[in-house]
Amino acid sequence: FWGFQWHPEKVPFEYGTIEGTDDPINPNLVHSADATYMAFKMADKFVQLARKSSHVYTDFERWPLVWNYPMVSGSQFEQFFVTDELIAKCNHSDNVLAAKPLLRGGGKLFDNVTVLSE
């Protein structure tokens, strides 16, 4: 089991500015060569260890995989998967966009939601 207290994949991949400004999307990200190297070394180690597993999902185990749920997109770097449980929390609506207020957690409203698949 692996867990991180941050998102190491953001360093090499998340660049850009807030639309209409010169402000970086995330001013706290360090994009130095050392930070990028460390992110790739961590990913390489994770993949090396994952390849040691002989586990294969059964058809029954595959059904809850995230790609089986509708995907919505926020900023250019964000994706959200709307599960039945999340939709049920939104006044029992079957409308994917009804989940909009909960997509960011804590009831924060997320305004720029686009449905990418249903």
User: Each residue of 82-108: pLDDT tens digit?
Assistant: 666 666 666 554 555 555 545 444 433
Closest to 36 measured CA to CA, from 20, 7, 72, 12: 12
- Is the model's pLDDT at 65 over the cut of 50? yes
Rounded to whole angstroms, the Cα distance separating 59 from 49 reads: 24
Provide mean pLDDT across the span 11-17. Answer: 85
Comparison of pLDDT for 70 and 45, the residue scoring more: 45
Instruction: Give first-to-last CA distance, the chain, whole Å.
Output: 31
Q: What is residue 71's three-state secondary structure?
A: strand
Helices (H), the chain: 10-13, 33-50, 59-62, 84-89
| pLDDT score recorded for residue 107 | 39
